[in-house]
Amino acid sequence: MLGRIVGAAFFVVTLAVIAGTLTVRADEFTKEDLERWQNEYMSVVEKGRALWVSPELGTNGVACAQCHPNAANTHPETYPKFQQQLGRVIALRDMINWCILNPLEGAPLALDDPDMIALEAYVMYERRGVELAPGKH
Ligand code: HEC
């Protein structure tokens, strides 16, 4: 009898601990956190926009915005997809590097370069709300 009560009590305490952990995890950020995260995100988007309109990624004075004003014809929502230029299924950042290398005659960025993340952030921000369509041509 006592064993059963102790067993039941242990079970209830275990459940409470699990529930407590889950609740704490779900509530771990405040309105101020959200604001800060949004501001940091937008500052990266703005950095991407600045790179987009500047010739600094290349060597021939050409900027992304000359062929893709406001990220036109970049279709980030279709990646990953097969691209003929590279002959395989690639991520958006591979295509960004292809354009840095070819039209801009620049040096490709490391895939985790903060400039690459900023370019991606800018392109995705301009296309926000567009339905995801990976693989689409
Ligand atoms: C001289 C014109 C030109 C410039 C400048 C240029 N691009 Fe492109 N871009 C192209 C062409 C051409 C394609 C290939 C279109 C295709 O095959 O989908 C392309 C494709 C892309 C795509 C993929 C589009 C798709 O539909 O899949 C992305 C992303 C992209 N460019 C990003 C950039 C970035 C970033 C820069 C600046 C570093 C840049 N482009 C500069 C001409 C240009």
Contact 43, 114 (CB under 8 A): no
Backbone phi, then psi, for 83, in 5-degree steps? -120, 125
If one residue of 93, 99, 115 were mutated to test the ligand 1 pocket, choosing by the most ligand atoms within 8 A of its CB, it would be 99
> What separation in angstroms does the CA of 77 have from each of 23, 55, 124, 127, 130?
34, 25, 8, 8, 7
pTM of the model: 0.85
**Atom number, ligand 1, closest to the C-alpha of residue 83:** 17
* Domain segments of the chain as ranges: 31-126
Distance 97 CA to ligand 1 centre (A): 9
Q: Please state which architecture CATH assigns to domain 31-126.
A: Orthogonal Bundle (1.10)
Helices (H), 27-136: 31-52, 64-67, 92-101, 114-126
Q: Express each pLDDT in 50-74 by its tens digit.
A: 999 999 999 999 999 999 999 999 9
Q: Express each pLDDT in 84-121 by its tens digit.
A: 999 999 999 999 999 999 999 999 999 999 999 999 99
